[in-house]
Amino acid sequence: MNQHEFEIALQQLLAHSLSSATFEEVKPVAEALLYSEFLPTAFSKLNALETRRLVFLLEKFSRYACSSVFRRTQLKAYSTNLSERFTSSNILQNTFATDPLAKKLGLDEDLNHLKSQLLSLQTRHHQQSFT
């Protein structure tokens, strides 16, 4: 995957609710965020909801210990920079079974339905096959 392919996959993922995303849609983005040097470059073209989804993905995958400390720090810094646009008024209350991180970002959608599949991306074997 190259930067352009990453951008296309990311834009396609951000265009729809994360709760309806399939593993096949999330996997290339997750792999790129976890194991590559790619960062989104076209975020200025995103609307507010797509930007919140992007921040969610960046923060979510910055918490996966399978990537390097440098990469996790890079994703976290990038998400922090983007999330400065949001105020506490975006926080959702009483959204049943939504990821707390998603709620914090004003989303009522998440990737919980793909949790077991996404965890498979964290294995040492998977990391070696991606690089």
Percentage of the chain exceeding pLDDT 90:
53
How far apart are alpha carbons 90 and 42 in whole angstroms? 23
Domain carrying residue 18: 3-130
- pLDDT at position 131: 56
Please give the tally of structural domains in the chain. 1
Q: Could you tell me the pLDDT band of residue 120, with boundaries at 50, 70 and 90?
A: confident
What pTM was computed for the model?
Answer: 0.80
CA angle (86 as vertex; 84, 91 as ends), nearest 5: 135
Q: Could you tell me the pLDDT band of residue 98, with boundaries at 50, 70 and 90?
A: confident
Average pLDDT, the chain: 86
Max mean pLDDT among 26-30, 82-86, 111-115 falls in 26-30
